[in-house]
Chain A
Amino acid sequence: MVKQAVQALAERQRIALTLSKFEGLSYQEIADTMGMSVKAVKSLLSRARVNLKLLLQPYMDIGAPPTAVELDDDEAEQGESE
């Protein structure tokens, strides 16, 4: 379930999430790695967390698999980093 939720995230959100959660990088380090501003990383990770929460909400509530949820994408962060 959790894996499905992570895979459902936009690519940049997934990368930022991985770098933050599993690699333990700071926002600055993620910004350097992904070629973005710290502000954009902050926004990206916020979206990742919120989207993850939306995707996993049913699972957290009643143990049901994640349902199709309209997610925030990260087009804005893409523009921000350029």
Chain B
Amino acid sequence: MNDYNSVDEDDELLTAYLDGELNDQERRAVQHRLADDAKLRQRLAELQRAWDLLDELPDTPVNQEFTKSTLELVVQRVEKDVKQVSVTRDGIRLGWLRGMPLIVVLCGAGLFAGVAGGSVWRWNNNRSKLPTWMSSQTSRD
């Protein structure tokens, strides 16, 4: 019964009728035949009933273990991410502390340079105010 020609025309017609795939004229013709033919009505009912039984197919239940392991993986991943963020923050904090001595040294050097520069400027400024003979004496020294 696997020959294409062996497909029963009435089965095909009834299937198309049940699937709403007939045009108005074809549908009316089938309805007329159904009204007159009890066997055809029986055939239609059986095809429809078998089709309706498909509604009893349960939704595929999700395996409990699968759900559990998936949730555990998610939790593990979240915990890992949280730890990474924490470590990164600590790293930034420690890095800043590690840079402290350098900052202190740079600040000290800047302060020293400022004080020294100011002293030289004051010295030069004051020297220009000295009497000429004293200024020349100073420059000779």
Contact A46 B50 (CB under 8 A): no
B56 CB → nearest A CB, Å: 5
Given contacts A49-B11, A49-B47, A52-B50, contact A75 B2 (CB under 8 A): yes
* Other-chain residue from A21, A27, A53 in contact with B46 (beta carbon distance below 8 A): A53
**Does more than half of chain B's interface fall in helix, strand or loop, or is it mixed?**
helix
Contact A42 B12 (CB under 8 A): yes
Question: Chain A residues near B18 (CB, 8 Å)?
Answer: 49
Given contacts A2-B54, A52-B50, contact A27 B11 (CB under 8 A): no
Interface size of A by CB at 8 A reads 32
Contact A50 B8 (CB under 8 A): yes
New contact pairs (12) apart from A20-B19, A50-B47, A60-B49, CB-CB < 8 Å: A5-B53, A6-B57, A26-B21, A27-B21, A42-B21, A46-B7, A46-B11, A49-B15, A49-B50, A50-B15, A60-B50, A60-B53
* Other-chain residue from B1, B15, B21, B50 in contact with A56 (beta carbon distance below 8 A): B50
B residues apposed to A, CB below 8 Å: 1-8, 11-12, 15-16, 18-19, 21, 46-47, 49-51, 53-54, 56-57
